[in-house]
Amino acid sequence: MMSKKRSSGLLLHITSLPSKYGIGDLGPGAYRFVDFLCDAGQKFWQVLPINPVAVNTYPSPYSGLSAFAGFSSLLSPEVLYRQGLLGKNEIITERTFPEDRVDYRAAMSCKRKLLNIAFERFRRAGYNEGYFEFCKRNEKWLGEYAVFMALRNEYGPWWQKWPKGLRDNKGQDVQAARKALSKRVEREMFFQYEFDRQWKKLKEYCNGCGVSIVGDMPIYVSGESVDVWANPDVFRLYKNKMPQFVSGTPPDMFCDSGQLWGSPVYDWKYLRATRYKWWLDRVRRNLELFDMLRLDHFRGLVSYWEVPARAKTAAKGHWAQGGGRRFFNALFKHYPVERFVAEDLGHITDDVRKVIKQFDITSSRVVMFGLDGKRKGNEHWPGNYVRNCVAYTGTHDNNTAAGWFENEASDEQKERLLGSAQRKVSPARVSQEMVALAMASRAKMVIVPMQDVLGLGADGRMNVPGTLRGNWVWRVRARQLNVRCRQKLRSVTASFSRL
């Protein structure tokens, strides 16, 4: 959990790690990054959601196929080799992948072959006690996910178009399909067992080095997900399992029509009647994997923007009541509030602020947003930060600090940054100045995107909201995590008493 001392950490998604398989994973590159964090005096590693994604449509980690499962493409062939499930020659890939970008389809194709070989060897060996214990402990979500993925492979990604008995998750039909597809089901269960094992080994190493992992839990799941298929009552759906309403954000100064996210929204009346069981189970699973958890789109848990599913823009939507205080009472009755960070960015209203204040939830602040207007009354200006917050230079949805300065910042915003630095700031130094502003603040915790540590421009951006191409692909090169970078980061961390 978050220390009472001033501290800092880095934001870098698993997919962005160096790896020879075209996508970052839980292998040697992850362990070397933990060593980098430790040597640089960092106490936290924040990652994006690690759930499986629909690579053939849009690989956003915020639109997962399961709220409980892990993304099998993050599994490390090198770790499987050390377990004796792959041969030395098998983990040598002849294909050359780009160092600085993820090629999801090619990487998944390469890894899937290796994972299938590992599964066959594991299966022939008769599984093991750890596997059976994992399956028993996670029986509900694991069984649903494994059969769902087998059916998805057989009938296509949109489960609403499956044969009616399977679409409606009828017991007899699903059991018959599970029997017919038993090997595929077992394979998916093995992937999840191995993901759980590899992840927890990495987490153990992190914690042993004094590094805590901050996870990220998206508020919504994809309409393609197993969660909607297996738990239709949790969502507002028609009888044909299509959504009545979908998620989004209202029109604002940045977008006249708002943002249409398209994920099914929750039936909070049903959730309240079931004492929020689905949500509490989801949180429990996430807290098994992470030391702390960022609650994405926090305001949507209090009140949210819902849009009729047939609407073409989010402008047709309206505000609806979320879980609110009752939900948070249930949440914090089971789990300590200190393990959560609210992503309270964007359109935040008084009802959201009251919930954060009532439960004393750690909030989020972004230096980049603090340069948007006058300092007085601007909660994102570093000089105005409260102690109980996490300060970021930017998030995965923003441009990098240097990219923002070069391509987006107004003259007024540049003047505010120059004034705070009290010296001339070149584009090459913008990232350093924004990191210093965050580090110098009262915030008890600072998280800096790896791209800002490296001073990268717009080519290092992770995501551009509202666009579908070129997102979630940036990767750090191994040679960028060098001694000079590490020493420089440690020095700035020490200078602001965050070691």
Residue 198: which of 340, 29, 59 has the closest Cα?
A: 29
Terminal Cα-to-Cα distance of the chain (whole angstroms): 16
Instruction: Judge whether 296 counts as a catalytic residue.
Output: yes
List of E strands, 33-160: 44-46
What CA–CA distance (Å, rounded) separates 25 from 21? 9
Which residue in the list 173, 379, 397, 406 is annotated as catalytic? 397
Rg value, the chain, Cα: 23
- The DSSP element (H or E) to which 132 belongs, if any, is helix 129-137
**Strands of 292-295's sheet, edge to edge?**
340-342, 292-295, 212-217, 44-46, 7-11, 445-449, 389-392, 363-366
Long-range contacts of 131-140 (CB under 8 A, 24+ apart): 131/190, 131/193, 134/192, 134/193, 134/196, 134/197, 135/189, 135/193, 138/68, 138/192, 138/196, 138/285, 140/281
Tally of CB atoms within 10 A around 280 = 18
Instruction: Judge whether 186 counts as a catalytic residue.
Output: no
Task: For 429, list phi and psi in degrees, rounded to 5.
Answer: -105, 0
Which residue in the list 196, 227, 296, 306 is annotated as catalytic? 296
Instruction: Judge whether 344 counts as a catalytic residue.
Output: no
What's the number of CA atoms in the CB half-sphere (13 Å) around residue 284?
12
Which residue in the list 343, 344, 433, 452 is annotated as catalytic? 343
Contact (CB, 8 A) for 4 and 496: no
Query: Which residues lie below 8 Å from residue 233, measured CB to CB, with a gap of 6+?
Result: 267, 270
What CA–CA distance (Å, rounded) separates 45 from 397? 18
Tally of CB atoms within 10 A around 42 = 27
The residues annotated with a catalytic role in the active site are 296, 343, 397
